[in-house]
Every structure is written in structure tokens, then in C-alpha cells.
Amino acid sequence: MYRLRCLMLLLLLSGCSGNVKSGKPAEPAKGDNRPAVNPAPVGEAQTQPTLAPVAASAPLQRQVRTRSLSPKPIRITVESLPKPYHSNSASRSPDVVPVPANPVLDVPAGFTVNVFAEGLEKPRWLALTPSGDVLVTETPQNRIRLLRDTDGDGVADTTKVFATAENKLHLPLGMAFAGGYFFLGNTDEVRRFPYTAGSDKLTGAGEKIADLPGEGYNQHWTRNVAVSPDGQKLYVSIGSESNADEEPLPRASVQVMNKDGSEQKTFAYGLRNPVGLDFHPVTDELYTAVNERDGLGDDLVPDYLTRIRQGEFYGWPYAYFSPANLDPRLVKNGQSLEAELVKRTQTPDVLFQAHSAALGLQFYDGQTFPEKYRNGAFVAFRGSWNRNQGTGYKIVFVPFNSSGRPQGGYEDFVTGFLLDPSGPTTWGRPVGLLVMPDGSLLFTEEGNNRIYRVQYQPAAVQRPAQNPS
């Protein structure tokens, strides 16, 4: 009996050891001076007090309690926008606090949330390898980690270093696979590496296939990459070097090139910081999520999601959303500094609350979420700094119609990170998104160095909520 008790004690202690599945909250990120912003003033989602159940498959210590969220449509129109300088231009950096001892997130009924991985270092972007492993960029560390869920419980139990600065990583972000290659968006170049399915580590430095302008204004160093549905073209997003100054291309644009980097040209431009890139799973059309400019007031200029096509111009820095909406900082004698170009300004498909910092974009092509989410888009709001009341710090959903076009509005999907908009104070800053083969949705959270997993489990709705350990 004594030996049996000892064995049980050892098993209990081993289950609490500090590995990838540890339930210990990560320390808050240090030195992030980027401020944040507030829930949209129109159509803010309401939450119900009843706690929903936690994920049935994930280990108890990795589950996150949830409340049932009743999303309301949020729709911002060009006509409803205020005039420039309608309010003072705030500078409010977010206070990112540690994960609460008993955290709660708000999601629509039937959805569950668990911690997929933690203990990372500034996790940003996500990608899926051909063999089903998860890659995550730890950008400031010039590192990519490979995460694997070997037992299928929705939690990563294996982590390996996939690539480092020795592989010529320099502020890496976007990742893609095509034609036997792994493509990587460094801040100042696109690099590709030979890749064999099943490989869990890059070897060598690969080859540089395209030079890009490096870094940029207020974290506009991000270079995303996306391969066309036919596997023939590579699309690369490049942010501006400034908030709202005149700059030469390829700044503030999406570039297109062959997979060897040849024949590079501008695909769409006037896009201040087009970080998220994804192709609609039915129409194969390219969409981007864009961070718009600062300094014009709390509700200007909205971030947005839009389809982009060859040669289109989206206004930055001279105008926004319409030839009639001129940026006053680039006007002389009542006329835009580029009056003819401004006439071509396109109106985006969906406007988001200004200063939300829309980053990750992922169309839902899984099969487990309810029908309304099929072929719609999820967008991660990191939260920004240029607003008197904080907004962002959440995941939103953009519904698309049967013709493969957005319906004009969006709604909250995962909220609860923002504790105090007046600070703002938050325990989460979502960035990257990824749909998994099992239909679940992953998103990175760089404030406390985690990756969360959202899954739909309607059978669990009647179960009582449980507290995480």
C-alpha cells in the first residue's frame, strides 16, 4: 500500500511539471510601448451572466472559462464618419497585465476556449506545415517554433525550434508553403528554403528572392506572404514608413511576383499597413486587413477589410475611403497634393472601429463551426494607442454572403481581454490566426505569450462551467 501511495504521489507531481502544457500564466510582456483602443461605439456586443462550459477535450488546467456572448452587428459607414480633428489625438499605451488567476473570455454559445501553448516569446504569426504541425514566429527573437499536438487533445505537447537567426531570419512574420519550398517574409526581404514534408527544422540560409524596404513606422516592419490558390504567384504586404507622409512604392502596397521572386510588380497600393492577407476559399479573391492612419481623432481613420484587385488605389496618404475625404495634412489651397490620383480612391468593403489595429486575417474553411461562419473571415484586433478610450483586444467575425462577398458589417467573436478601456488595461493582445485541420481556430496573444484555441462543441452547452486550476 505504501508503494502504491508513493506511485500516485509521483504521478500527481509529474502532472504539474512546467512543460508546454503547464497551467502557469506567462509573465507579462515588457517594453511594449504601443498603445491601445476601445470597443466600437456602435452595436457593442452584450454578454450574458451565465458561464458556458469549458472545452471537453483539453486538459482541465488548460481550459478557459467562458461566458455566452450575444454578438450584435457592427456597421460603420463612410457617411457616418466625423470630420478630422473631431477630438484630440490621444496617446495612451496599454497596460498589459498578467493573465488573471481565474480568467474568463466571452464567446458565442457553444464555443469553448483552451490554451494551446504558452511560455512563448512575443508570438506573432501562425502557419500550418504540410504535415499538420503549427509554426509560430517569435519575431523579436528572430525565431520560429514548431508546435505539435501528438495526442490530439487540442494542446501542444511538443515544441521545437524550426528556424533562427542562423537561417537568416530578420524580424520574420509571414510564412507559406508551395512547390517544395517554405517562403518567409523578413522585414527587408522574401526568402525561400527547400522543404520536404515532415521536416521539423530548416537547414541553411535558403535564398533571398526579393529585396523589400525594411522596418517602418510604429511596427510597420511586418511583411506577410501569401501564395495564390493556383500555387503560381507570391503576394507580399509592405507597410508605410510613416504615419501619413508621401512615400515611393513599394511602401504601403501589396506586391505580386513569381515564386522565384521575378517579375515583381505592384498589385494594389495606398494601403497604409496591409498586414493580414488571405484568399477567399470559394472565389479565390485576395483580401487584406489594413491599419489606417493616426492623429485625426478618436474615430478616424477606421481600419478595414477589403478585397483588392490589380491596380487599385486605396487613398493613403492623401485621402481615405472616398475622393471627398482628404487628409488635411496633405492639402494645399484646398486641393490634394495628388488630386488626379485621389480620384481613383476605392471604398473598402468593411470598416472597423478606428485604431483597433486589425492584423491577422483568416477565412474559415473548416467544417466544425456553425454554417454562418463557413467562408467568412476572422480578424484579430491587437488594440492601438491613438484613442481616449481603449478599443480592440479581441477577435471579430466578418460574415460573407452566398456570392462570396462581405455583408458590410462585423461582430465580436472573442472578447474579455480588455479590463478597463480608460487605461486601457488588458491581459491580451491578439495578433495571428490559423484554422486547424480539426476545424478549430488558433490565435496568438503576444501580451502574455500564449496561443489560444477556439472550438465549437454544442453538446457541451448544458454542462456546468468549471474553474481552471
pLDDT confidence band for 2 (50 / 70 / 90)? very low
pLDDT above 80 (res 332): yes
pLDDT confidence band for 384 (50 / 70 / 90)? confident
Q: In sequence order, what are the residues at sequence separation of 6 or more whose Cβ sits closer than 8 angstroms to the Cβ of residue 317? A: 240, 242, 244, 245, 246, 247, 252, 272, 293, 327, 329, 330
Q: Flag the least confident range among 1-10, 262-271, 292-301.
A: 1-10
Cα distance between residue 450 and residue 387, in whole Å: 26
CA distances in angstroms from 424 to 38, 43, 74, 166, listed in the order given: 8, 20, 21, 38
Model pLDDT for residues 338-361, shown as the tens digit of each residue: 999 999 999 999 999 999 999 999
So where are the chain's domains?
Answer: 34-460
Average pLDDT over residues 400-415: 97
Q: How many CA atoms lie within 13 A of 17 on its CB side?
A: 9
pLDDT above 50 (res 463): no
Average pLDDT over residues 62-78: 96
Question: Which DSSP helix (H) or strand (E) runs through 336?
Answer: strand 335-336
Cell of residue 140, nine digits: 523579436
Average pLDDT over residues 431-458: 97
pLDDT confidence band for 216 (50 / 70 / 90)? confident
pLDDT score for 44: 38
CATH code of domain 34-460: 2.120.10.30
Average pLDDT over residues 367-385: 96
- Identify the three-state secondary structure at position 361: strand
pTM value?
0.87
Model pLDDT for residues 79-107, shown as the tens digit of each residue: 999 999 999 999 999 999 999 999 999 99
Average pLDDT over residues 162-178: 98
Beta carbons of 287 and 361 less than 8 angstroms apart: yes
pLDDT above 70 (res 48): no
How many Å from the N-terminal Cα to the C-terminal Cα in the chain? 29
Average pLDDT, the chain: 88
